[in-house]
């Protein structure tokens, strides 16, 4: 479903599917794979936000973790130690990184479009 300014609505479920606990992992796969990055501010070792962070890293997306999370959650510290996440202390760090990532993504899309025109 396209909006006025482009974009799409993505889901692994039918529109008539009711919300259920089993749908959250599917939603996390879609959101982590289609975004430039994920910001995690609170997540226990069994939370969906932790899953979102893991999936985003697996999809090659940016993962931002705040200091209090890194200080209290071993999984968050491990992601930082393995360079699978970025520790942030200010929102400007997130917007700066996402801005650079968006610019890189746009450049790649332009190169791809140029290549397709030549076919």
pLDDT tens-digit readout, 47-64:
888 999 999 999 999 999
What is the pTM for the complete model shown? 0.73
Containing structural domain, residue 107: 30-117
Least confident interval from 7-11, 48-52, 84-88: 7-11
Split into its structural domains, the chain has a count of: 1
With 80 as the cut, is the pLDDT of residue 37 above it? yes
**Distance, CA of 22 to CA of 77 (rounded, Å):** 27
Q: Is 4 a domain residue? A: no
Q: Which structure tokens are listed for 35?
A: 């975004």
Residue 50 contacts residue 43 (beta carbons within 8 Å): yes
- Above pLDDT 90, what percent of the chain? 34
Q: What is the CA radius of gyration of the chain?
A: 17
Closest of 40, 57, 32 to residue 94, by C-alpha: 40
């Amino acid at each position: 479903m396209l909006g006025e300014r482009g974009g799409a609505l993505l889901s692994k479920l039918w529109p008539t599917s009711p919300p259920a606990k089993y749908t959250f992992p599917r939603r996390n796969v879609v959101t982590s794979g289609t975004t430039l990055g994920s910001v995690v501010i609170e997540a226990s070792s069994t939370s969906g936000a932790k899953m979102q962070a893991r999936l985003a890293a697996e999809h090659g997306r940016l993962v931002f973790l705040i200091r209090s999370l890194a200080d209290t959650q071993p999984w968050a510290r491990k992601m930082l130690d393995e360079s699978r996440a970025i520790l942030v202390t200010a929102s400007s760090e997130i917007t700066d990184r996402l801005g650079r990532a968006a610019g890189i993504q746009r450049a790649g899309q332009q190169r791809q479009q140029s290549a397709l025109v030549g076919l």
